[in-house]
Structure 1
Amino acid sequence: MIDLRLLREDPDLVRASQRARGESDDVVDALLAADEERRAAVGAYEVLRAEQNQLGKRISKSTGDERAALLARTKELSAEVKAAQARVDEAEAGLRKAQMAVPNLIENAPPGGEDDYVVLREVGTPPAIDNPRDHLELGEALGAIDMERGAKVSGSRFYYLTGVGALLQLGLLQLAMQQAVEHGFIPMIPPVLVKPESMEGTGFLGSHASEVYRLEADDVFLVGTSEVPLAAYHSGEILDGLEEPRRYVGWSSCFRREAGSYGKDVRGIIRVHQFDKVEMFSYCRPEEAAAEHERLLGWEEEMLAKIEVPYRVIDVAGGDLGTSAARKFDCEAWVPSQGRYRELTSTSNCTTFQARRLGVRYRDAEGRPQVAATLNGTLATTRWIVAILENHQQPDGTVRVPKALQPFLGGRDLLG
């Protein structure tokens, strides 16, 4: 939810952000109109309430015909105040709906769409592998991935991680949690079913609603990332201090419908309906958000170094940002079987957008409540297995285990 004061002061800035996203700026005009309507409704209500208060004082001092006239006006005024309150309630509901339709303001993101990202750096050299096997062929040969039985039991885009595949994922996620805790993050295992207000507050019920699984009987949603319960953890609260960022790291299963992605990445575990993920989440003061964003990216790169795969960092273009993000960096690992980089991590600066929706605030130096900023970043996920298997494959079909993961796989340096 964007700041209404900013909207009133510089509506063209909000319009420019919409255009940079490749979206209509009509929602900005609709929000301006809704804001004006609400302020007019509140003003009319306050005038009537002021008259009502004055009448009460005059009645106590009046007698005779004057008192009778004032009492009659009081009765009329009571009905007018009630109607005015109803108009305020309606205008406030309209304003909230209009606010929810406007994405976050873009901050320094490159212009353009999905293919207009800017490569910030490339780290490592893609391995020279003749006729590389893809992760599924390798995983099946190692007894690590079973797509056939996953589809039999649950449908397409489901799978089993078996044997060393299960150990590889558990080790990867434990390594990520371990690193985060070393950097001062508070470890969390959050709920993966959340109320509508939590999902809406984080920005996942707008243009992304088709991606979300909903359990209609209970009116709850399965999360696609632990960002949602971590963001909602402090909803409606005022955080003490926040002189330093407050950081959490969540381990959860995640669920995505992958609506509209039919025909894309149907082979293997690149794009699936269920996966596990370790997610960093940070609350901080708005002026600290840009620096915190860089720190989250640094921790993602630290984790990628541990799995010893070549990767690149991209600055995602405005037209490819999610609703809540003002700016996003992705780390993409080299996938030999595809001869290209594929996303493994994302870190987004959501500025005050989510916190304003969820009512997360902190007290400044003068003790006044201010809206916090929120940020998130992937530290490890099931998809990382793709990059590990493919980049570390050997000519004989075995797979080398990165040194940092060896303790989690019984000290083995080779799989197969």
Structure 2
Amino acid sequence: RIVPPVLITGRVMEGAGFLPAGKNDIYKIEGENMYLVGTSEQALAGLHMDEILERSQLPLHYTAFSSCFRTEAGSHGKDTKGIFRVHQFDKIEMFKFTEPEKSWEEHESLLKTAEGIYQALEIPYRVTNICSGEMGVVAAKKYDIEAWFPSMNMYREVVSCSNCTDYQARRLNTRCRANPGDKPQVVHTLNSTACAIGRTLVAIFENYQREDGSIGVPKILQTYAGIKEIS
């Protein structure tokens, strides 16, 4: 569990696969080779840059909380009212460094963990296996978890869960080996949203709102919230 930096260097941003392809979606610090993260995945991808990890350490699992910043340049005004799509938001992210031969198994495990959050919140959702034409250059396979939003009468994405195989690790020079004399092998990286706080709140408000306008608090959160409803 870590709180990663929200400012990262151009090398890390490029190595993570978000430059130059995503340059219009990223805030750059004027006069500096520094960028604000659009997701903590970008900072986590560089956590073991230029390192050789021992295979016995793998898989490495990280959970990170950070603020995220996006220009939303391609939104064309869509969803800009309210808190569904904003320029700054907070998010909990999961990230894994794995042995290459185990990354597909770890990808399914990561998806189950993300699903478990929305199951616990009792929010209706579906899982979509994203086709290659809808994915960027980084991921080899990607699932989206889409929650039901009654006001829109549709499912909307709340989680992205990706297996990037060796794309990020190769660019960031993150490798592993079983023994000191062995030839290093490039690791695989995986990432998934755990909870995008703004969108999850919207999903709770919409699915738990009652006819009188009050909002029920999901059972799993009642102990933490100290209340059962918001009047």
1:295 partnered with 2:89: no
Q: Is this contact kept in 2: 1:243–1:285, CA < 8 A?
A: no
Which of 140, 146, 166 is 1:352 aligned to?
166
- Aligned counterpart, 2:214: 398
Which of 212, 218, 233 is 2:26 aligned to?
212
- Aligned counterpart, 1:379: 194
Q: Is this contact kept in 2: 1:242–1:362, CA < 8 A?
A: no
- Where is the strand percentage greater, Structure 1 or Structure 2? 2
- Aligned counterpart, 2:185: 370
Q: Shift of residue 305 of structure 1? A: 1.0
Which of 320, 325, 337 is 2:151 aligned to?
337
Q: Shift of residue 216 of structure 1? A: 1.7
Q: Is this contact kept in 1: 2:54–2:178, CA < 8 A?
A: no
SS of the aligned residue for 1:383 comes to helix
Q: Is this contact kept in 1: 2:38–2:70, CA < 8 A?
A: yes
Q: Is this contact kept in 2: 1:241–1:364, CA < 8 A?
A: yes
Letter in 2 for 1:319: G
- Aligned counterpart, 2:62: 248
Which of 344, 361, 367 is 2:175 aligned to?
361
Which of 81, 84, 92 is 1:278 aligned to?
92
Q: Shift of residue 243 of structure 1? A: 5.9
Distance 1:339 1:328 in 2: 24
The equivalences for 1:184-199 within 5 A come to 187-199=1-13
The count of corresponding residues between Structure 1 and Structure 2 is 229
- Aligned counterpart, 2:224: 408
Q: Is this contact kept in 2: 1:242–1:284, CA < 8 A?
A: no
Q: Is this contact kept in 2: 1:242–1:285, CA < 8 A?
A: no
Letter in 1 for 2:184: P
SS of the aligned residue for 2:55 comes to coil
What value does the CA root-mean-square deviation take over the aligned residues? 1.2
The equivalences for 1:22-61 within 5 A come to none
Question: TM (normalized to structure 1)?
Answer: 0.54
Q: Shift of residue 206 of structure 1? A: 2.4
Distance 1:406 1:218 in 2: 45
Q: Shift of residue 242 of structure 1? A: 4.2
Spell out, residue by residue over 1:17-62, the C-alpha distance to the aligned partner (whole angstroms, 9 max, x if none). Answer: xxxxxxxxxxxxxxxxxxxxxxxxxxxxxxxxxxxxxxxxxxxxxx
- Where is the helix percentage greater, Structure 1 or Structure 2? 1
SS of the aligned residue for 2:78 comes to coil
Q: Shift of residue 281 of structure 1? A: 0.3
Runs of at least 4 residues off by over 3 Å:
none
1:233 partnered with 2:47: yes
The equivalences for 1:75-90 within 5 A come to none
Distance 2:93 2:62 in 1: 8
In structure 1, the gaps of 5 or more residues are 1-186
Letter in 2 for 1:413: K
Q: Shift of residue 360 of structure 1? A: 0.2
Distance 2:38 2:58 in 1: 28
Distance 2:7 2:52 in 1: 24
How many percent of aligned residue pairs carry the same amino acid? 48
In structure 2, the gaps of 5 or more residues are none
Letter in 1 for 2:34: V
Distance 1:323 1:385 in 2: 30
Rg larger in 1 or in 2?
Answer: 1
